Each structure stands twice: as C-alpha cells, then as structure tokens.
Structure 1
C-alpha cells in the first residue's frame, strides 16, 4: 500500500536524444524500444495520477554542460556522450520529449552521472519532505534507472520500478536489468497497478 504523502515519482532522462527520432540515440534501438514499451504514455499517466493525488514528481535529467569538457573519459558512456554531443545543455536533444509535461510544482534536477542521486539535491529533497518510497520510471533501464534504484535502496528508500514505464535499447537489456539486478533492490509494479492503488 502506497502512502501518498511519503511517495515520490521519479522521471529519469526522458529527453529527445535518448528516445526521440532524430536524437543522438537513434540507431541504437532506443527509439523503437521506448515505443514498444509505450513509456511516454505510461509515464504521462503516472504523472497525471501523481498530480491528482498530491504526490511529488521529480524530473531528473542527464545534461552535459560546457561542451563536455568536464564529463570525463573514465567510462565509455561519458566518452560517447561527449563525442556524440548527446544531451548537450541548451540543445533540442537535452529537452524533455513531447508528451511528458512538467508542472510548475514539479522539481527538475540535472546531473552528469548515471544515478539520479549523484550530484543532485534529490536525497535532500526527499528527506526534507519525509519521503520514504520512490517510484522510478524512465530510461535507460540498465543504466540510469538501475543505478538510481541501487542508490535509492542504499539510501534507505523503498524502491519501486515500473517495468512498462522504463526502456533501454532492446528486450534483452531490459530483461537483464529488470529480472536480475532489480530483484535485489526494488519491487516491480506495472503502471496500471500503481494507478489503481492510487
């Protein structure tokens, strides 16, 4: 049972370069997988339900600043984002995808690492608002979503991941994240079930 005043909805990396046609990830399978998962309509439904029930909504976005000068070269993902100019600050690619609305009362946090907790005020906001449960949605399931779920568990939150409101580049990667790592750190609940409970 979700306690509405102790629950927050996290919307991770729903940006054009990640899942929109014409974005930097086009050609990886990410656009097609997001469409197959129907994550834009599913997340939109969850956002609407959260607003209707006075549940905190936090949009967390990966944004590369200053042309990637400080993103680092320690990991392939950072090198690729810099070389591809993916999610560069101020570009169309870094903007929120069509169909995901950000309300004035929502929080929007930016970061340049995988976990939504890393380098943001996320933990401070959740603690100050007495939140103990986070519902995680967004992309990519095996990267930012998984990193955030792991950190959320380590920070002491009850973590819910929504399988049909997350996507990556294909079903194999989705399954690897959802059916292995998530079993140890999160509860999996579908969009329709969460909305019914709210």
Structure 2
C-alpha cells in the first residue's frame, strides 16, 4: 500500500481573524519541552492497517517522538481500551460493528498493541481510553498522569483526525491545556474530514502547526 499525505490547508481569512484578535498568527509561539507531551492517538493495527494516510504520517510521528523525548518532554501512546457492550452502541453502530469498535485496541501488553513501525521507549506513557477522547473525565487516566509531570502543552497526533484526535483536542483545551494539533501528523479517511477538523481546532481550541514547526519550537526552547 502506498503511503499518502493529506492535502491540508487553513483558509487565509481564518489566519487573518486571529492575527487581528491577538496580533499574531499562532497562539503558542514558544513552549517548555519538559512541560510538553506528544499525544499519539489510536495508532494501532485496527486503524492503521489499510489506511494510506496513517502510513503517511508514521515518519512524522516518529520524528516528533524522538525530538520531544530527547528534549526532556513526554511521549504518550493512547489506545482504545475494551469497553462494555451497551444498548446505545449496538443501536447506533449495529451489534457487529459495535463489537469491532469495542475491541479495536487489541489485547495483550499495551506496548505490543502499537503499530510495529512505531517504537515505545522507557519513560513513555502507555494508556487506554474508554471513550473517543483521551481527556474525557473518568474514561482515561492520561490527564492525571500528565499533571503528575507538570505538563501544560499537548501536541496531538494520530488517527482519526476528526474523531478521537479532535475529541481529545477539544477536551484537553477545556481542561486548560495548551493544544497544538499537527496538520501533517494526523490522519483521517478523506482530506475534507481532515481539513474540517483543522479549521475547527484552529478557530476555537488550539494551534494547528506542521511537524517542522513543532520540531523548531522544541529545539529552539531546548537549545
């Protein structure tokens, strides 16, 4: 399968709106590496296999993880946990599809569930979530574990851009964290879905930056 990258964009009027409001294009022009966490959402075989866009973002996720880790930041691998069957889930998805989603994270050691081209290191966080969002209260312990590390900035990557990644970005912002969504390190099914989320996040919940941008922020702070 050939890897693909989304053709992403933000419309110039959106950039202009924020430039008028705050005097600059991006909200977060610096970060403290030790208080920064790279969040990698749902990069497990169920979602990655068969997705050319997931294949396309693998090098950028790996690069970001190395840079953040080397600068003293945190890398957090988030995957779906097994959740209880519900009447609502069966009604919405249908019983067969609902069962697939409930078990999409796989079983066995958490580290072994991550897509094999991505490498978990000692000191990384591994967490399961019981909802679309990794930051929804009571459905994932990621917020508490990041708080223990004094994290104030989260860099969102993974899949699907417009489902679990967007849900996580929204809730992280609600919890008071600085959110950066990486435009070329998130993957959806279609460019339209991907770009709709980038627009929503940039408009209301956080910054939208490229991998190169985030690497420069981390290295600039660390250097």
The TM-score bracket by the shorter chain reads: 0.7 to 0.9
CA 1:123–1:47: 2 relative to 1, 3 Å: same
Which secondary structure does the structure 2 equivalent of 1:156 belong to? coil
5 Å-filtered alignment, 1:154-173, equals: 154-173=174-193
Quick one: which of 135, 149, 152 aligns to 2:155? 135
Is 2:196 the counterpart of 1:176?
yes
8 Å Cα contact 1:64/1:71 also seen in 2: no
Q: Where do residues 105-120 of structure 1 align in structure 2 (5 Å cutoff)?
A: 105-118=123-136, 119-120=139-140
Q: Do the aligned residues in 2 keep the contact of 1:150 with 1:185 (CA within 8 Å)?
A: yes
Unaligned runs of 5+ in 2: 1-29, 219-223
1:56 aligns with 2:74: yes
Counterpart CA distance in 1 for 2:115 and 2:162 is 20
Q: Which moved more, 1:114-123 or 1:152-161?
A: 114-123
Aligned twin of 1:24: none
Question: Offset at 1:182?
Answer: 4.0
Report deviation, 1:72: 2.3
Q: Taking structure 1 as the reference length, what is the TM-score of the superposition?
A: 0.83
Q: Are 1:17 and 1:86, in contact at CA under 8 Å, matched by a contact in 2?
A: no
Indicate if the aligned counterparts of 2:155 and 2:180 stay in contact, CA closer than 8 A: yes
How is 1:1-198 mapped onto 2 (pairs within 5 angstroms)?
Answer: 1-21=30-50, 31-35=51-55, 38-64=56-82, 70-75=84-89, 76=92, 80-83=97-100, 86-87=103-104, 89-90=106-107, 95-118=113-136, 119-198=139-218
Q: Is the 8 A contact 2:201 2:207 kept in 1?
A: no
RMSD between aligned residues: 2.2
Conserved? CA contact 2:76–2:127, under 8 Å: yes
Displacement of 1:89 in angstroms is 3.4
TM-score, scaled to structure 2: 0.74
Q: What CA distance in whole angstroms lies between the structure 2 residues aligned with 1:78 and 1:177?
A: 26
What's the CA shift for 1:146?
0.6
Q: Could you tell me how far apart the structure 2 residues matched to 1:164 and 1:77 are? A: 29
Residue 135 of structure 2 aligns to a residue in which SS? coil
- Is the 1:33–1:171 Cα contact (8 Å) retained in structure 2? no
Alignment CA distance shift 1:55-1:88 (3 Å) = closer
Report the CA distance between 1:127 and its aligned residue.
Answer: 1.7
